[in-house]
Chains A and B, each alone.
Chain A
Amino acid sequence: MNIGAPFDLVAGWLQEHAVLPLLYYFGFMQWEEWSFGWSLFAVYGVAQVIAALLICWPLEHFWPVERWKDHKAEWVDVLYTLINRVGFLPLITFVLFTQIQMSINGWLADQGLLAPTLERLAPWFEGRPVITFFLYAIVLDLGEYWRHRLSHVFNWWYGLHSLHHAQRQMTFWSDDRNHVLDEVIGFLWFTVLALIMGVPPLQFPMLVLLLRLLESMSHANARISFGWLGERLLVSPRFHRAHHGTTAAGRVSVNYGGVFPWWDMIFGTADFSPTFAATGDPSAEEVLATGGYWAQQAAGLRRMWRELVAP
C-alpha cells in the first residue's frame, strides 16, 4: 500500500481540473510537464495544515500552557502559515529547486560527472525511497540546526529572525511567522544542502513539509513533554518552548533543533529543564509581536538595518 497514493490522486485531479486549465487559459502550457509537482506540493501543504490543526488544536485546547482572552495576535501567524505552506512561496521553492538542480546536474553531466546521490554512493538504497527519505530528513535537520543557530549569532540576521521570536502568544501557527528575507535565506540554505545530497525533486517538497509539520507541533501552546527518553529522540513542545523563552531570545539561546534534539545534545546547546517558559523577545519592537503582516515585515527590515549600521 502506497501511503502517498491518495495525495497523488488528489494532486492529479487538481492538475487536470485546475492547474492545467489555468495554464491553458493564461498561455503557460509550456510548463505542463512540471505542473504535477506543483499540484503535489500544494496538496501536501494543505494536508499538512489540516494535520497540524487536527493534532495541535486539541492539544492546545485541553492542555494549554497559557490561556489568553484575546487571540488577535495569533491571526497573523495563520496568515504566515497559509502563505508559506500552500501559497506562492512553496510553488516558487519547488520551481527554483527543480530548475537549479537540473542546471547544475546537467552541467556536471556535460563534464562526464554525475551528481552525488545516496543511491549512487550505495546502490542498495535504490528503490528504497522511504529509507532514503528519512536519511535525507536527518541530514537536512542537521543543516537546519546550524542555519538556525547562526541566525542567532549574527546580529543583522537576528534582526530578521526576531520577528519569529517576538510572538508572546506562541501556538502551532507560529512556526511560519518569519520575515520573508529570513525565509529566502532559509530556502537557499536548505536547497543548497538538498542539491549537494541529490534529493529527488519530488521528495523535496515532502521533506520540507514533513519537517515543518513536526516543527509546527513543537511550537504548540501545549503542556506536553515526551518524557526523559522521548525528549532526547524528538523535539517536543516543551523542548522548543525553552528556545522561545524570553531569556533565550537573542544571541545566546538553547534548543535550536527543529525536529531532532540530537544536534543540541552533540553541540552542547540542549536544555532539558522541565519548565514551560513564557515566550517572546523583550528587545523587539511591539509591532513585531502584535502588528500586521506588512508592519512586521517592515519592522524586521528596520531592525536588521540598525544592526548592520551599528558600530
Chain B
Amino acid sequence: MRRVMMLLPLLWSFAALAETPKTVLVVNSGEASLSVIDYATHSVLRKIPMLREPHHWVMTPDGRDLIIGDTVANELVVLDPDTYDIRRHITVPDPYQMLFTPDGTKFVVAGLARKQVDVYEAGTYKLLHRFHLVSMPSHLDFTPDSSTAFVSLQGTNKAAALDLRTMTVKWIAPTGPAPAGIMYHNGHLLVAIMGSDHVDVLDAKTGETVGHIPATNGAHQLFISPDHKTLFVNSRIDSTISTYDANTFKPIRTYRVPGGPDDLIFTPDGKVWATLRFVQKVGILDLQTGALETIPVGRSPHGIYIKGAVNMGGDNK
C-alpha cells in the first residue's frame, strides 16, 4: 500500500496537460518508420516512412517542431507535432541522442557510431563545435544552467563533462562497463551501467564516483517522473523497470517487463508506455497493479512521443 501511495503523485502531475493525448508516436528504428497509435483505443492508425534508421526524438524549445533523428540517413526529420506531417529535412551526421540545452540556445547531438558530440546553434543548426570523444558517445544531459553537457562513453567505460561556454572538455571519468543512460540530478550525475547491475553516482563537478544504486542486470536508461519524485531505471538483460525514491534512491518496486524496455513516456492516467525493443511492441505498464498491456508496432521500436510530454524524462527530458 505504501508503494502505491508513493506512486500516486504521478497521477496528479499531469494537471499541466491541457487535454488528453490523441495519439502516441513510436519510432521504429529497425524498419525506418513511425507508428501512430490511437491513445484511447490503442490501435495503430498508420505508419509514416522514414529513410533509414530513426531512433530518438526531441521537441524544439518553442514547441513548434518535433524532430526525429535518423542516424544512418544522417538527417533530422522535422515534423508537425500535431499532424506528424514532414516539414523539412536537416543534414546532421549520426543524430543518435539529441537534446536542446535547457536555455534553448544550443542543440547537442551524440553520434554513437561516429565518436563525436556536436554542438549546434538552436534554430539555425549551424555547427558550433565538435567534441571528438572515444568512444560511442551515447546518452546526454545538462546542468540546469546549460553550461555543461554530460555524455556517457559507452565504448570506453567513461563519462565526460563538456563545457558548452568554452567548448572544452571539463573532465572524463571512469564508470562501470558500457555506461548508457545519464542524468544530472541534484548536483550528481547518475549513470546507468549497462554492462553491470547498478547505477553509478558521480560528483557532477569532478566526475568522482561517490556511490552506486543497485539495479537489475543490464541497467540501461534513466527517467524521472513528471513530479520529479520517482526515479525509473530500466534494464536490458533482466528486462525490468525499477522505481526508486528520487531523493534517497531507496528502491520502491521492480516490474518485470519482458521484451527489452527502452524509452519510456508517462501518460496522464498514471501509466508508463515503454518501447519493447526485442518483441516489436509497445508496453503499457500500470504502475499500481504491475499489469502490462502490449501493442504490436514496427521492428525494434526505440523512441516514444506523446504531445505535451515535454520535460517528463528520458531522451525528451
Q: B229-243 CB contact bits vs A (8 Å, 1 = yes)?
A: 000000011010000
12 further A-B pairs in the complex, CB-CB below 8 A; given A24-B236, A29-B194, A120-B51: A12-B278, A13-B278, A20-B236, A102-B71, A109-B94, A117-B73, A126-B49, A127-B33, A127-B47, A200-B72, A202-B30, A202-B299
In the complex, 11 of the A-B residue pairs with CB atoms within 8 angstroms, ordered by the A residue number, are A8-B280, A9-B280, A20-B260, A24-B236, A27-B177, A37-B30, A105-B73, A109-B74, A120-B51, A129-B31, A129-B32
Choose among B91, B113, B114, B278 the residue that contacts A16 (Cβ–Cβ < 8 A): B278
Q: Which of A8, A15, A99, A127 contacts B113 (CB 8 A)?
A: A99
Across the interface, B114 reaches (CB within 8 A) one of A102, A114, A117, A126, namely: A102
Is A30 a contact of B178 with CB atoms below 8 Å? Answer: yes
Q: Are B93 and A29 in contact (CB under 8 A)?
A: no
Contact between A106 and B111, CB atoms less than 8 A apart: yes
Residues in A lying within 8 Å of B, measured CB to CB? 4-5, 8-9, 12-13, 15-16, 20-21, 24, 27, 29-30, 32-33, 36-37, 40, 98-99, 101-103, 105-110, 112-115, 117, 119-120, 126-129, 200-202
Whether the Cβ atoms of B74 and A36 lie closer than 8 Å is no
Task: Check B91 against A112 for contact (C-beta < 8 Å).
Answer: yes
Cβ contact within 8 Å between A202 and B53? yes
Inter-chain contact A29/B178, CB cutoff 8 Å: yes
Contact A8 B30 (CB under 8 A): yes
Distance A105 CA – B71 CA, assembled complex (angstroms): 10
Separation in Å of the A85 CB from the closest CB of chain B? 21
Quick one: CB contact mask for B60-90 with A, threshold 8 Å, 1 for yes?
0000000000011111000000000000000
A24, B92: Cα distance in complex, Å: 32
Neighbour of B218 across the interface among A9, A29, A126, A128, CB < 8 A: A29
Q: A29-B194, A126-B49, A201-B53 are in contact. Are A114 and B93 (CB under 8 A)?
A: no
Which residues of A are found within 8 Å of B111, using beta-carbon distances? 106
Contact of A12 with B280 at beta-carbon distance under 8 Å, contacts A27-B195, A200-B32, A200-B72 already known: yes
